[in-house]
Amino acid sequence: MSSWADTVSSAPPPATTASDRGAISARGLRRTFGDTVAVDTLDLDVPTGAVFGLLGPDGAGKSTLIRMLATVLVPTAGEASVFGHSVTTERDAVTPRIGYMSQRFSMYPDLSVAENLEFFATIRGVGRADRRTRSQALLASMGLDEFTRRQAQHLSGGMKQKLMLATTLMHEPDLLLLDEPTTGVDPVSRREFWRILAGLHRAGKTVLVATPYMDEAERCTHIAFLDGGRIKQSGTPESIKALVPGRLLEVSATDPRAALAVVRTLPGVASVHLLGDVVRVLWEAPSEPVGPLTSALVAAGLHGVGVREISPDMETVFAFLAEADAPPGAGSEVAS
Amino acid sequence: MSAKRVRLLIWKEFTQLRRDPLLIRLLLLMPVLQLIMFGYVVAVDVRNLSTAVVDLDQTVASRQLQAAFSGSGYFTITRTPASEADLQPLLDSGTIKVALVIPQGTQDRLGRGETAPIGIIVDGSDSQISAIGSGYASQIIAQFNTDRRTSSGAQLDAPGIDARVRVMFNPTLDPINTMIPGLIAAIMMISLMVIMSQAVVKERESGTLEQMFVTPIKATEYLIGKLTPYAALATAQMALVALGGLYWFKVPFNGSFWVVLVGLLLFMFTCLGLGLLISLVSRTRHQAQQAVMFLMIPTMVLSGFIFPIQSMPPAIQPLTNLIPLTFALEVLRGAFVKGSGFEALAVPMLALAGFGVVIFGASIIATRRRIAE
């Protein structure tokens, strides 16, 4: 199991340093729970300084992957390294450089905000002076400084997440492994949380963040879409968007279901689906789409017809990619 | 091993304990409550039993016998009816618990060197009174016979008064004197099992156990940090019971402090290990509680804490050897009551050491495995 790690660490190829291999490198990583395969022989490379979004539905294997990288879970097969150190054989070299935030709230509920910070920082060997300055700075930047004496169990959902992040940052890790940090958090807190992550990114930290929210993918420098324990797509948000062939159109009409039925029959239309009260259309033909679509809909007797080209958001991109993956015709009602 | 990290963990456990006012109150109240329960209710001693004496002999010897009874403190002579027939209504109404009948000619028989039978009637409706009362009575009569022989210069095996009660009882073996030493061991077991079983499962439930894995903390440090506060707490509870027993209930302590200390220390490892094992296999705190209850009932019944092992059916008796508390009781009762030393208590000491090594060892291995997982 450790042969791969041994090879790289004992005989590094010339000009290949740990940072060149990136923050995270995983090869053939696999984890099963009984008969269930949570992560299925997966390769992953996260460059240093990236904000890497791990997207996918519940049960896709995001948490299992992150927990293996955080050295909390031992892989069934394969190997992963963090900054060139194996997560299985060199745990002691890995843990000081990572900050792991689990999906569940994992602070002591009956200790105060300040005590939790103090406890986890001290246990990680952060000195007294550093503990004081860092906790003051972190709590102030997260707006938690008024609540230092409050017990963690009495914090709101957003504040709990921020406390966990602050705790994770006290020993100044180079890599943050965040497992769905914004799940169950109100939109304002979510935005604020991402503002903090953006600051960490500017400070040069590497962030691996799992999220079920497609809109959060837009804020990442790199993304990977995980499903069934495998990476289905990965790249930059732009390169993922570029995977969608043709142009994306939004069609509105007083009766969107009738519009959908009409559009589906037209040549040049690759896929159609209903999103709320508009119809999303992927136009694959090289010709200009707005004119022909409008006239076809008007000719079919529909009222209030409007057609405009939109730039694809991540949600739509993955919906189309999933549809392309699925058997023909199965995904025409994909809507969220 | 970092002493700093261990200290931090201990601080954290104590801080959490302090924040749980109900738990800390329960832990302090429990020994006090148990002392009161076992000291006053279960181990009640029989004193000042109302006694009637029917003295048909009316001699020096019969009056000496009466004096021996009333001077013991266990019997208070409240009635002196003229005939045996008058006893029945007194017993029926509960006015007296014990009756002593000294037949006519008792002194003459004793003078002739014959056996002099006397009758002792005990109210059997209360089994404890009847057993203890008749036990004391036979003890007093045995003493009376010895005194009479020594003062009259008669042979030691000369016949004397023969009481028709045959229950053996040692009046110095007050039930509380065996109950309190047992309670010290039982309290440690209950307390450690109840809190330790919650210790790890609580961290699993709160997710902090996983967070702990990402820190440089070692399994050994974690264990020491977890076990120390609760061991200290259990020690405080035991001290409370021991002090209450020695100074309030005046339980005599005849043995060596070191025997008690070593015995309790060995037993503590067993208790810590059992609690830890339960905490590791349980998924939730509720499950852990049920597992503790499951273990506690056979322990209390089979260890001899409440029911004497000798009175259990022969088929059941070997099972008592599977209960660690059985041996802890043997050590503590032996040391307190009989003043037994290490040599006399070698077997239960070794048994406790064996249980400690196996159970505590298993819990350490299980913890390491769980943490490595």
pLDDT in tens, A123-155: 998 999 999 999 999 998 888 889 999 999 999
B359 closest CA partner among B229, B267, B287, B284: B267
Is residue A14 predicted with pLDDT exceeding 50?
Answer: no
Query: For residues B191 and B268, is the Cβ–Cβ distance under 8 A?
Result: no
Domain range for A128: 3-240
Q: Is residue A333 part of a domain?
A: no
Q: Which residues of A235-265 are buried (b: 16+ CB within 10 A; e: fewer)?
A: eebeebbeebebbbbebbbeebebbbebbee
Query: Which residues of B fall below an 8 Å CB-CB distance to A?
Result: 4-5, 8-9, 12, 15-16, 19-20, 206-208, 210-217, 372-373
Of A190, A211, A240, the residue at which a domain comes to its end is: A240
Is residue A18 predicted with pLDDT exceeding 50?
Answer: no
- pTM: predicted TM-score of the whole model, two decimal places: 0.70
Of A205, A240, A275, the residue at which a domain comes to its end is: A240
Residue pLDDT tens, chain B, 373 long: 788 889 999 999 989 888 888 878 888 888 888 888 877 766 555 677 888 999 998 998 889 888 888 888 788 889 889 888 888 888 777 788 888 888 888 888 888 878 888 888 877 665 566 667 777 887 888 888 878 777 766 555 556 666 554 332 333 445 677 788 888 898 889 888 888 888 888 888 888 888 888 888 888 888 889 889 989 988 888 888 889 888 888 888 888 899 999 999 999 999 999 998 998 888 888 999 899 999 988 898 888 887 777 767 888 888 889 999 999 998 998 888 778 888 888 999 999 999 999 999 998 888 777 665 5
pLDDT at B269: 92
Q: Give A17's pLDDT tier (boundaries 50, 70, 90).
A: very low
**Cβ within 8 Å, pair B210-A96:** no
Which residues share a beta bridge with A279?
A251, A274
Residue of A63, A64, A103, A108 to mutate for B, most B C-beta atoms under 10 A = A108
Helices in chain A by DSSP H: which ranges?
3-10, 62-69, 91-94, 113-123, 128-141, 157-169, 187-202, 237-242, 256-265, 290-299, 314-325
Q: Is residue A336 part of a domain?
A: no
Determine the 3-state secondary structure of B297 from DSSP.
Answer: helix
Range name among A45-54, A216-225, A281-290 with the lowest pLDDT average: A281-290
**Cβ within 8 Å, pair A111-B210:** no
Tokens 């060596």 sit on residue: B256
Q: Give A46's pLDDT tier (boundaries 50, 70, 90).
A: very high
Residue range A161-186: mean pLDDT, rounded? 90
pLDDT at B166: 32
C-alpha–C-alpha distance, residues B37 and B249, integer Å: 12
Same domain for A231 and A173: yes
Which residues in chain B are closer than 8 Å to A104, comparing Cβ atoms? 207
C-alpha–C-alpha distance, residues B140 and B142, integer Å: 5
The total number of structural domains in chain A stands at 2
Q: What is the percentage of chain A residues whose pLDDT exceeds 70?
A: 89
Residue A208: which CATH number? 3.40.50.300
B324 closest CA partner among B197, B227, B185: B185
pLDDT at B70: 86
**Cβ within 8 Å, pair A110-B12:** no
Q: Is residue A14 part of a domain?
A: yes
pLDDT at A121: 93
Q: Is residue A207 part of a domain?
A: yes
Same domain for A150 and A275: no
How many interface pairs between A and B have CB atoms less than 8 angstroms apart? 66
Q: How many CB atoms lie within 10 A of CB A330?
A: 11
Same domain for A256 and A228: no
**Cβ within 8 Å, pair A95-B373:** no
**Cβ within 8 Å, pair A106-B20:** no
Question: Would you identify the CATH topology of the domain B49-163?
Answer: abc type-2 transporter like fold (3.40.1710)
Interface ipTM above 0.90: no
**Cβ within 8 Å, pair B8-A111:** no
Residue range A207-214: mean pLDDT, rounded? 90
Looking at per-residue pLDDT, the higher value among A300 and B270 belongs to B270
pLDDT at B45: 59
Is residue A328 predicted with pLDDT exceeding 50?
Answer: no
pLDDT at A10: 35
Residue of A71, A106, A117 to mutate for B, most B C-beta atoms under 10 A = A106
Q: Give A168's pLDDT tier (boundaries 50, 70, 90).
A: very high
Long-range contacts of B40-47 (CB under 8 A, 24+ apart): B42/B175, B42/B179, B42/B306, B43/B174, B43/B175, B43/B176, B43/B178, B43/B179, B43/B180, B44/B128, B44/B175, B45/B132, B45/B174, B45/B175, B45/B176, B46/B74, B46/B128, B46/B129, B46/B132, B46/B133, B46/B136, B47/B73, B47/B74
Same domain for A278 and A310: yes
Mean pLDDT of chain A: 83
Same domain for A252 and A235: no
Q: How far is CA B225 from CA A200, B10, B200, B216, B232, in A?
A: 34, 5, 12, 14, 11
The shortest C-alpha distance from A199 to chain B (Å) reads 24
Is residue A4 predicted with pLDDT exceeding 60?
Answer: no
Q: Is residue A334 part of a domain?
A: no
Same domain for A205 and A63: yes
C-alpha–C-alpha distance, residues B226 and B280, integer Å: 13
Which residues in chain A are closer than 8 Å to B208, comparing Cβ atoms? 106-108
**Cβ within 8 Å, pair A102-B4:** no
pLDDT at B167: 31
Q: Give A326's pLDDT tier (boundaries 50, 70, 90).
A: low
Which residues in chain A are closer than 8 Å to B207, comparing Cβ atoms? 102, 104-106
Return residue ranges of chain B for CATH 3.40.1710.10.
49-163
Residue A266: which CATH number? 3.30.70.100
The shortest C-alpha distance from B16 to chain A (Å) reads 6
The shortest C-alpha distance from B360 to chain A (Å) reads 25
pLDDT at A335: 39
Quick check: A95 contacting B, CB < 8 Å?
yes
pLDDT at B157: 58
Same domain for A275 and A142: no
Same domain for A113 and A76: yes
